[in-house]
Structure 1
């Protein structure tokens, strides 16, 4: 199991390009938001969330660079499992965004901070700072909406949970932007609690996605059965694979686990075939047969002890 399977090479290259685009556009959003941030809780929260949203893109690119390396003496099984570690880091970042949003909003409501947005003078013209904040937030919404929608189908074809989590982070970006706009308009109308409430509402959805990703990434790292891309439930194609292996090797004990985007299967208590074609064993869509990267046979006693 070395390198990237040929059927997904094009998608893998596209995913890397998307992440480089993400770093560029989200970095520009961070700069714009920094100069537009005033005393608004929603603006400060959105700015910090934009910074955290760079984490999944960075860890994806680092993992992608390592994943293509072959085995070494220090790492004889190769680097495919770096995807699992990157998934955990991305899930942690997504969860951190949701928790931060909720904490900041709760503290604002508890302290009952009555924030005001003053006017500013630009080129001799006096304008309400809120309009500049809203313009910055509108800009912060556009790249995440486009990039997130572009990443989702690629993540599905690659079975890449890091890329999928990054798409969820893009969703958190534009949702936070919308919440910020609503909060600033509320402040302009005299509702001091508006932006804090808006941020708190958005945080619930982000925390839900983050916790689900954390559960799935943790299961992957401790050799749990392969999960779905968008939840911590066991994937249907894995269940089909288990049944196909049990039918092919009657009486065998079948185990499956996930290493990054790949599935590793273990058959215990039967004699191994003289020659095995993994593509023939894969029971699902032939275009996804690359997911079954390894089939190993172990004696029944050894299988029971593991």
Structure 2
């Protein structure tokens, strides 16, 4: 039986999901071009509008990172990259998160300083078709335009992110779903200026900046954890991936296996599995080990590669959580 590893092909269902995600990413970029242009043309001196414009500019990073990562992950493993290029997804996630944190922190400082200095942004009149129009109406109109499409795009991307186990796509969808708050914040700031509440603009800008910073910190935590070879988790980073228990259960059900425990590394879209098994009696032959490995690779499409290692007892130095789990089972 020939060992297979390093595959870059996706099952038909995931391949269809990936093609749809790519189309949504390009659609997002096209929408952002219009949104950034529109906000820039009407933002004037409003801090809230400036924060919204910066947020729209940052929104380019996740879909672009996703598109680049998709191309890179298609490469075959090489001598220099024997595990393949699936980690491009994690790199793209970290790049997006870093940009969000950096710009979010700067914008919080900029908006906060404007509030402390009690800056009064002027919103004057603009001539449209020969008629004087209050600039605030144009700002509100543009922000209303930017509110709905990102929410629809985010809702469309979220199930695809889960199906593909793609954290860059998830970060993009999560930001899109929250973009309506940016639009509402910008509108509130402009309305506040119109009502003579000079501080409303700075408060709205601070709200938008804080939202960007929060998204960045949350995504950076998950991205850094993945790159540091943390246990395989769900696409949203909310907990351990259920596939890990399925792997251990599948190996433990083999007739020649007494105990089995694995450590699973998240490579991006796919997982790399190192499984340790304690045989019932004596060492297993090559056929049994090869079939066990194929069992894992066929268990789920995310198992990109697997190594099955027979041992006399489960090694705590490679499975550091083993002692705590064993103690918990004994106590119960």
In the other structure, the counterpart of 1:121 is 127
Q: Secondary structure in 1 aligned to 2:301?
A: helix
Per the TM alignment, residue 173 of structure 1 is displaced from its structure 2 partner at its CA by 3.1
Change (3 A) 1:57 1:134: same
Which of residues 231, 241, 246 is equivalent to 2:237?
231
Q: Secondary structure in 2 aligned to 1:296?
A: strand
Q: What TM-score do the two structures reach when normalised by structure 2?
A: 0.82
Per the TM alignment, residue 93 of structure 1 is displaced from its structure 2 partner at its CA by 2.9
Q: Secondary structure in 2 aligned to 1:257?
A: strand
How many equivalent residue pairs?
302
Change (3 A) 1:263 1:72: closer
For 2:96 and 2:306, how far apart are their aligned partners in 1? 29
Q: How does 1:253-268 map to 2 (within 5 A)?
A: 253-268=261-276
For 2:202 and 2:179, how far apart are their aligned partners in 1? 16
Change (3 A) 1:21 1:10: same
In the other structure, the counterpart of 2:10 is 5
For 2:123 and 2:236, how far apart are their aligned partners in 1? 40
Per the TM alignment, residue 277 of structure 1 is displaced from its structure 2 partner at its CA by 6.2
Instruction: Answer whether contact 2:21 2:160 (CA < 8 A) is retained.
Output: yes
In the other structure, the counterpart of 2:80 is 74
In the other structure, the counterpart of 1:85 is 91
Greater share of helix: 1
Q: How does 1:1-306 map to 2 (within 5 A)?
A: 1-6=6-11, 7-245=13-251, 248=254, 249-268=257-276, 270=278, 271=284, 273-276=288-291, 280-281=295-296, 289-298=300-309, 300=311
For 2:137 and 2:109, how far apart are their aligned partners in 1? 26
Q: What TM-score do the two structures reach when normalised by structure 1?
A: 0.88
Per the TM alignment, residue 13 of structure 1 is displaced from its structure 2 partner at its CA by 0.7
Instruction: Answer whether contact 2:98 2:220 (CA < 8 A) is retained.
Output: yes
**Unmatched 5+ residue regions in structure 2?**
1-5, 279-283, 319-332
